[in-house]
Amino acid sequence: MSSADQKILAQIEAIESAYEFMLAYAAQGRDSDDKRAGGSEIEGVLSSLATALTVLQDDASNLGLPTQFQTFAETLSMDARNARGAVELVQIQARISSQLVDNLNASIHLRAVLTDLFLIDEALKCQ
């Protein structure tokens, strides 16, 4: 496996893990995250998600995808940029409730990135 393959797989894993955590967080019905320990777990998850989205936005065309994927790589980059904006909106809030995270999970921007990654993953399997 090439380093480019490992790079995209790492971003996919980070995004999927964050999304799974956020689904569980949203289901807890919290009014706010617990910041007593100098930062909450959701803040760390959102930070990891934002980082992975930044990598996809900046490097989508350099991830070692086949040449035929390059037009779609531009779409992935734009979707990652839009999703990162939604994540950053949540990150700057004074409190992060389950409802806020649930709305982020439902965001068309985050779902677009997830769908892009599922599509790329399946297309690569067909190569």
User: pTM of the entire structure?
Assistant: 0.87
Contact at 8 Å (CB) between 76 and 60?
yes
Per-residue pLDDT at 17 exceeds 90: yes
Average pLDDT (14-26) is 95
Residue of 49 and 95 predicted with greater confidence:
49
Per-residue pLDDT at 72 exceeds 60: yes
Separation of alpha carbons 35 and 125, rounded Å: 42
How high is the mean pLDDT of the chain? 86
Please state which of the four CATH numbers 3.80.10, 2.30.30, 3.40.1360, 1.20.120 is assigned to the domain occupying 3-26+40-126: 1.20.120
Average pLDDT (52-80) is 84
Average pLDDT (41-60) is 92
Separation of alpha carbons 50 and 42, rounded Å: 12
Burial class (CB in 10 A: 0-12, 13-18, 19+), 3: exposed
Q: Which of 28-32, 40-44, 47-51 has the highest mean pLDDT?
A: 47-51
Contact at 8 Å (CB) between 58 and 78?
no
Residue 122's identity, in one-letter code, is E
Per mean pLDDT, which range of 4-18, 40-54, 97-111 is the poorest?
4-18
pLDDT of 36 reads 46
pLDDT of 84 reads 97
Per-residue pLDDT at 52 exceeds 70: yes
Domain boundaries in the chain? 3-26+40-126
H-type alpha helices, the chain: 3-27, 41-59, 70-91, 98-106, 108-126
